[in-house]
Amino acid sequence: MSHAAAAAEFIADEERTRWHDQAVWYVRQKRDRAAKSLPEWETLRETASQIKQHTLSKLDEYLEEFERNATRQGAEVHWARDADEHNAIVLKLLEQKGTKRVVKSKSMLTEECGLNPFLEKAGIEVIDTDLGERIVQLRNEHPSHIVLPAIHVKKQEVGELFHEKLGTKRGATEADYLTEAARHHLREKLLAAGAGLTGVNFAIAETGGIVVCTNEGNADLGTALPPVHIASMGIEKVIPRLEHLGVFLRLLARSATGQPITSYSSHFHGPREGQEMHVILVDNGRSQQMTEDDLRQSLNCIRCGACLNTCPVYRRSGGHSYHATVPGPIGSVINPARDPARHKSLPFACSLCGSCSDVCPVKIPLHHQLLSLRGKIVDRKLLPASKRWSMKLAAMVLKRSWLYRILGFGARCSLRWLPRFLLYNPLNGWGRQRDLPEPATKSFRQAFRDRNRKPGDK
Amino acid sequence: MNVGLFIPCYIDQFYPEVGLATVDLLERYGATVEFPEAQTCCGQPMANTGCLDDARPLARKFLDIFSEYEYVVAPSGSCVAMVRKHFHDLVGDDPRLEGVAAKTFELCEFLTDVVGVEQVEGDFPYRVGLHQACHGLRELRLGQPSEIVGEPFNKVSQLLAGMRGIDFVELERTDDCCGFGGTFAVAEEAVSCRMGLDRLADHKQAGAQVIASADMSCLMHLGGLARRQKMPVAIMHVAEILAGRSPEEPVSGKPRSGKCRSDEA
């Protein structure tokens, strides 16, 4: 289903659309206040962007440096070419230990790889321990946002869900009560788990350590108890030095939720005593993305979600309308960049307002990348024929001033003389909710000629 | 100052009064204005759809027409951004591009940056909601977008602030997109209209009598929605206000959409 069709379905519920827009806009406002509390904000953005660009230019070296240092710290490093390889590595590690139950803190990468259904098929129970992710998991859904996975779910709906699945009181909506219930439910799962899976926000080449940012402390708990810790990361997550980390930590939480920093920034330098620690470096299309000059910078992304929160289209169409793990502007870049046929409508789910590029803490020129992806969609002949031919026709007319003038005159006359029911026919997408412009009797060029005609001229 | 006037195709066909106001304003500040008749469109609709091959001849034609002028000025941030920011994807190999891009200006920035106008004087005793058109704001930086941390500035409101009696209303969202977006307006009709209706509601709660913008394409979309909603608000291009037009004057022989009255009337 195209984004436009899915968005239209979402928008049909006007009240819900307004609620969603306001809930997400609220986060954008919090981000604005947090950003404005730092006078050096724009310098930080520029610095972060340059660190990322530098890292990408020597990615192979930094990844190998990370591997050496992580290994020295006692972790085992694995390399996965794609999602299948990643999932197979995880399964093998779990099978070696005979693990049947795992807990997982938030990781968009494992979502991208479809790890949960893969492990479940192999008879392994996977519990998401991030509250938002647990909610969508219990609802049998995917996250609709990369930082706020359940932003599309209302409190009342969480109450009903928890009543059904966790046995809370019917009709309960108080956040404290529901959170407490989830805490007890998750605590049991955490205690029983044989392995803890996490994502990675930053991997530091210099030290071989990884950093995971959470607000719930679930990554700490999920890795502190079980005997195995498996951390999955995209290869773009590496940064060169420990001193660079501060730049990103200052940007990440402020951009994501407007907090000065996440409640927990958990550093892992090798396994604790008696534990195994594995780090899986996943490519899954990233090195391909690096070869394209106009798209490379999208690998700067630190998954803060600020572009989603600011996007006027995302706010009014909901994350699920993108039919992709990562929705919003950044999702509309990385998904079609990897699989243009499947995600061909996403670069067009954008009014090119440019707010995403200005909000991005690592200065990805998102709206220009979306524009350049539109060209790639056309090159691969994936643009719907109606659009393709209307553009060809328009260009044919606009190349010829005389034809443009005649047709312009015709259009103005039709606007003036055609009855309303003919003008506002089902084919007129403009006119379903909007009136057409009031027809001017003269074009500007005619009016300008008349204005400059001296008295007595013909 | 010799100005080649670049009038976007939809203004030429549907909003001649905006073009005329632009001419009046430029002449008031001593420019000699010529309108090269061969012009049609900069190619933005095709380029924004990804059809670069269809847009290329139009970009080339633009350079043919405008490279001779001292300045090129248009009452549209979006079309000027096309020339300055996106023509290099189409005709980057053309030696004339750099020169043309450097001398092509949106009307307000031409007045503030080239002519050196601080404020425009005149009367406009109305409550005005200023719609920040995205391409002017974020591609040309006619003002400081709300996402960026830094000293606020805005070339459009700076010029308007000289009009006696003008009262800028306070919007809840100062620069959220209206949802026009070219072919987006039709391809993503549901989202586009929802965005536009939300903008209109913001101007309404703020008490705007006039919604003004430096880009007529946003106003075509917002005005079309407002008329369908029978919303009593006038829609005006900034050039019309600066040139001394009144929202009570009829346009093209018909009342301006959602005709409004000044508080003094």
Contacts of A254 (CB under 8 A, 6+ apart): A31, A34, A35, A38, A260, A361
Residue B247 lies in a domain: no
**Same domain as B126, residue B111:** no
CA distance A248 to A302: 8
User: What's residue B264's pLDDT?
Assistant: 35
Tell me the β-bridge partners of A230. Answer: A197, A278
Residue B264 lies in a domain: no
Q: How far apart are the first and last CA of chain B?
A: 39
Mean pLDDT of chain A: 95
Contacts of A413 (CB under 8 A, 6+ apart): A439
**Residue B36 forms contact with A (CB below 8 Å):** no
Q: A444, B19: Cβ pair inside 8 Å?
A: yes
**Same domain as B184, residue B92:** no
- Looking up tokens 């015709």 gives A410
Q: B40, A25: Cβ pair inside 8 Å?
A: no
**pLDDT band of A452, cuts 50, 70, 90:** confident
**A 55-94 near B (Cβ less than 8 A):** none
Backbone angles phi, psi at A234, to 5 degrees: -70, 150
**Residue B254 forms contact with A (CB below 8 Å):** yes
**Same domain as B176, residue B81:** no
User: What's residue B253's pLDDT?
Assistant: 58
Per CB-CB distance under 8 Å, the chain A contacts of B258 are none
Helix (H, G, I), strand (E, B) or coil at A238: strand
Q: Which residue in chain B is spatially nearest to A386 when comparing CA positions?
A: B187
- For A176-209, write each residue's pLDDT tens digit: 999 999 999 999 999 999 999 999 999 999 999 9
**Same domain as B219, residue B110:** no
**Count of domains observed in chain B:** 2
- For A17-55, write each residue's pLDDT tens digit: 999 999 999 999 999 999 999 999 999 999 999 999 999
User: What's residue B37's pLDDT?
Assistant: 95
Q: A388, B51: Cβ pair inside 8 Å?
A: yes
**A 400-419 near B (Cβ less than 8 A):** 401, 404, 408, 411-412
Q: How many CB pairs under 8 A join A and B?
A: 232
Instruction: List the domain boundaries for chain A.
Output: 38-284, 397-452
**Same domain as B167, residue B72:** no
CATH number of the domain at B24, please.
Answer: 3.40.50
| pLDDT surpasses 80 at A69 | yes
**Same domain as B183, residue B139:** yes
Averaged over successive runs of 10 residues, the pLDDT of chain B (265 residues) comes to 96 96 98 96 96 97 97 98 97 97 98 97 97 98 98 97 97 98 96 98 97 97 95 96 90 59 39
Contacts of B57 (CB under 8 A, 6+ apart): A395, A399, B43
**Residue B32 forms contact with A (CB below 8 Å):** no
Q: What is the DSSP letter of A269?
A: -
**Same domain as B100, residue B143:** no
Per CB-CB distance under 8 Å, the chain A contacts of B10 are 437
Residue B86 lies in a domain: yes
User: What's residue B262's pLDDT?
Assistant: 43
Q: A448, B20: Cβ pair inside 8 Å?
A: yes
- Looking up tokens 């050096």 gives A40
User: What's residue B252's pLDDT?
Assistant: 63
**A 326-365 near B (Cβ less than 8 A):** 347-355, 357-359
CA distance A230 to A215: 20
Q: What is the domain extent for residue B197? A: 122-242
Per CB-CB distance under 8 Å, the chain A contacts of B171 are none
Distances (CA, A) of B261 to B21, B121, B234: 21, 21, 9
**Same domain as B126, residue B236:** yes
Closest CB from B13, B41, B192 relative to A443? B13
Residue B78 lies in a domain: yes
State the pTM of this model: 0.95
CA distance B120 to A409: 34
CA distance A231 to A268: 10
Residue B126 lies in a domain: yes
User: What's residue A414's pLDDT?
Assistant: 87
Which among B154, B246, B157, B162 is positioned nearest to B209, based on CA atoms?
B246
Residue B258 lies in a domain: no
**Same domain as B133, residue B59:** no
Listed residues B115, B148, B181: the one ending a domain:
B115
**Same domain as B131, residue B23:** no
Residue B222 lies in a domain: yes
**Residue A383 forms contact with B (CB below 8 Å):** yes
Secondary structure element (H or E) that encloses residue A191, with its range:
helix A175-192
Supply the angle between the helices A131-138 and A175-192 in degrees, to the nearest 10: 90
**pLDDT band of A457, cuts 50, 70, 90:** low
- Class at the top of the CATH hierarchy for domain A38-284: alpha beta
- For A160-178, write each residue's pLDDT tens digit: 999 999 999 999 999 999 9
Which among A120, A58, A118 is positioned nearest to A88, based on CA atoms?
A118
Listed residues B115, B150, B174: the one ending a domain:
B115
Helix (H, G, I), strand (E, B) or coil at A371: helix
Q: Which residue in chain A is spatially nearest to B226 when comparing CA positions?
A: A434
- For A306-348, write each residue's pLDDT tens digit: 999 999 999 999 999 999 999 999 999 999 999 999 999 999 9
Residue B129 lies in a domain: yes
Supply the angle between the helices A14-36 and A242-256 in degrees, to the nearest 10: 140
- For A236-269, write each residue's pLDDT tens digit: 999 999 999 999 999 999 999 999 999 999 999 9
Q: What is the 3-state secondary structure (H, E, C) of chain B?
A: CEEEECCCHHHHHHCHHHHHHHHHHHHHCCCEEECCCCCCCCCHHHHHCCCHHHHHHHHHHHHHHHCCCCEEEECCHHHHHHHHHHCHHHHCCCCCHHHHHHHEEEHHHHHHHHHCCCCCCEECCCEEEEECCHHHHHHCCCECCCCCCCCCCEHHHHHHCCEECCEECCCCCCCCCCCCCCCHHHHCHHHHHHHHHHHHHHHHHHCCCEEEECCHHHHHHHHHHHHHCCCCCEEEEHHHHHCCCCCCCCECCECCCCCCCCCCC
**Same domain as B188, residue B236:** yes
Q: Are A230 and A197 in contact (CB under 8 A)?
A: yes
What average pLDDT does this structure show over A217-228?
A: 93
Q: B189, A350: Cβ pair inside 8 Å?
A: no
**Same domain as B6, residue B107:** yes
CA distance B91 to B97: 7
Distances (CA, A) of B64 to A84, B38, B99: 54, 10, 12
Closest CB from B15, B150, B194 relative to A11? B194
Secondary structure element (H or E) that encloses residue A72, with its range:
helix A59-72
Supply the angle between the helices A59-72 and A41-57 in degrees, to the nearest 10: 90
Q: To 5 degrees, how large is the angle CA A47–CA A49–CA A53?
A: 115
Which pair of tokens denotes residue B99? 């020169």
Q: Are A106 and A199 in contact (CB under 8 A)?
A: yes
ipTM above 0.90, yes or no: yes
